[in-house]
Amino acid sequence: MKVRIMQTLFILLLYILYLGNEINALLPYGRYGHTANFLNNKIYFYGGASSGSNTNKFLYLDVSKSFDLINTKSMLWTDLSIVTSISQTYATSVTKNNSIFFIGGSNSISINQIDKFDTLTEQYVTYNFTGTVTLPTAYSTPSSSYDFYITNAQGVISNNIIYVFSGFNSSDMIMYNTLSITYSSLLLETAPPALQGYTATLLQNGDILYIGGYLYLNTTISRPTAQTTSGQIPTLQYGHTSTLISQHNLILVIGGYSQGRITSLDINNFIWTNITALNDGFITGLYYHTATLVRNYIIIAFGRYGTPLPPGVYDLYSNNISIIDISRKGSNKWVTTYNAPPPTTTPTMTSTSTPDITPGVILGIIGGTIGFVGLIIVSYICYKKRRNKPYVTYSSEAVADHYPVENIS
């Protein structure tokens, strides 16, 4: 009996280890129009659209550990979707200290509403900013449930103020003060017309460079007046990403609608250059993806692709993760391995799960398994005690000898 119980416990332990290993191996499903922010050795991904509807999926990839794209089991994903039920696509997000601020999105109903996620406490809070702005009239939809919202725009943060230009139907700059919880608008007389799908990059000198977008005449840069560029100027594009690589003094522009190339912009002389990265690791025509700078790597995640699409197919979504090694200027290359730096402090254990299985479900599975094993052990102990207990019988004479019966008649 003992041998069978030990065999059962061993098999259950192997099953638990296998379950945890398979959980880490699963990648999130495809999506586009999501946000990505690098904070505290984690890349946080939020929202996006998949299969024609918005998603409230909120998850992170732990980049404190090395991983390999071929061996997906080495990628540590954690699902945080339980902290929010809001589904957003085409929102914008910025980081401040240990928090992420989310602005706008296709489900936004108010310009003054901003969501904040604290990465330390994993608490999600909604703030209602106060202030006044001149609401735009161009492209307005007064018959809808909203008058104005920010979508498919990109914001930056500087000195506790979040700057968001345009988005849907405005050519104004909206400024959110994260200290006073107020907002206001700044009318830029020389700004380009209302546009979306562009990128905004904050430079070290305080300038914000805006590249691309649609409802716009050509690919230019606004400072806020158009900056003349030269070199291999890219064609009109939107849904691309722009990543500032400070040590190389350039911005790397990746993908975009109908664009399969990578281009770089030298921010010293504003000269464009087409980039040919070594190896092959990019999906042609990828757009509305994200590109996150993590040390000497750019990690590209998800997106929409496949133009022109096959007959009867309207959307294709990528769940791919790609990596560019940008450690050497002028020698970018696609790689399949991300090498994390050695830890400087004692590492803490990180609970992981598949992005589509919540931590509560996993704890329930493990707790139920442990409870089941405990029940088997307790039952076996009780059985052994009952089996080894001696049986004692008493004769009527013995009872009479020790306990005399009193006659009460």
User: Token digits for 180?
Assistant: 């006073």
Cite the beta strand spans of 168-211 per DSSP E: 172-177, 182-187, 199-202, 208-211
> So what CATH class is 27-355?
mainly beta
Buried b / exposed e along 397-409 (16+ C-beta atoms within 10 A): eeeeeeeeeeeee
User: Token digits for 313?
Assistant: 């197919």
Residues 15-19, mean pLDDT to the nearest whole number: 45
Task: Tell me which residue of 233, 245, 166, 171 sits closest to 201, measured CA to CA.
Answer: 245
Q: Which residue has the higher pLDDT, 344 or 173?
A: 173
- Chain-centre distance of CA 328, in angstroms? 27
Residue 96 clears pLDDT 50, i.e. is over it:
yes
pTM: 0.76
- Cα separation, 381 vs 386, in Å, equals 9
Confidence of residue 18 (pLDDT cuts 50, 70, 90): very low
The 230-231 sheet, strands edge to edge: 230-231, 271-275, 262-266, 250-254, 241-245
Task: Tell me which residue of 211, 214, 148, 143 sits closest to 183, measured CA to CA.
Answer: 148
Q: What is the pLDDT of residues 201-224, one digit of tens each?
A: 999 999 999 898 876 333 445 545
User: Token digits for 28?
Assistant: 């999130």
- Cα separation, 67 vs 65, in Å, equals 6
Say if CB 110 and CB 149 are below 8 A apart: yes
pLDDT of residue 110: 72
The structural domains of the chain, with segments of one domain joined by +, span 27-355
Region of poorest pLDDT, from 138-147, 290-299, 324-333: 138-147
- Chain-centre distance of CA 346, in angstroms? 25
Q: What angle do CA 200, 203, 209 make, to 5 degrees?
A: 35
Q: What is the pLDDT of residues 128-163, one digit of tens each?
A: 999 877 654 434 444 344 445 688 899 999 999 999
Task: Tell me which residue of 323, 336, 239 sits closest to 289, measured CA to CA.
Answer: 239
Q: Which residues contact 399 (CB under 8 A, 6 or more apart)?
A: none
Q: Identify the three-state secondary structure at position 331.
A: coil
Confidence of residue 81 (pLDDT cuts 50, 70, 90): confident
Say if CB 83 and CB 123 are below 8 A apart: yes
Q: Which residue has the higher pLDDT, 66 or 229?
A: 66
CA dihedral for 342, 344, 348, 354, sign (positive or negative): negative
Task: Tell me which residue of 323, 357, 164, 312 sits closest to 243, measured CA to CA.
Answer: 323
Q: What is the pLDDT of residues 103-133, one digit of tens each?
A: 988 876 677 889 999 999 999 899 999 987 7
DSSP annotation of 190 reads: T
pLDDT of residue 248: 95
Q: Which residues contact 103 (CB under 8 A, 6 or more apart)?
A: 91, 92, 93, 94, 114, 150, 155, 162, 164, 176
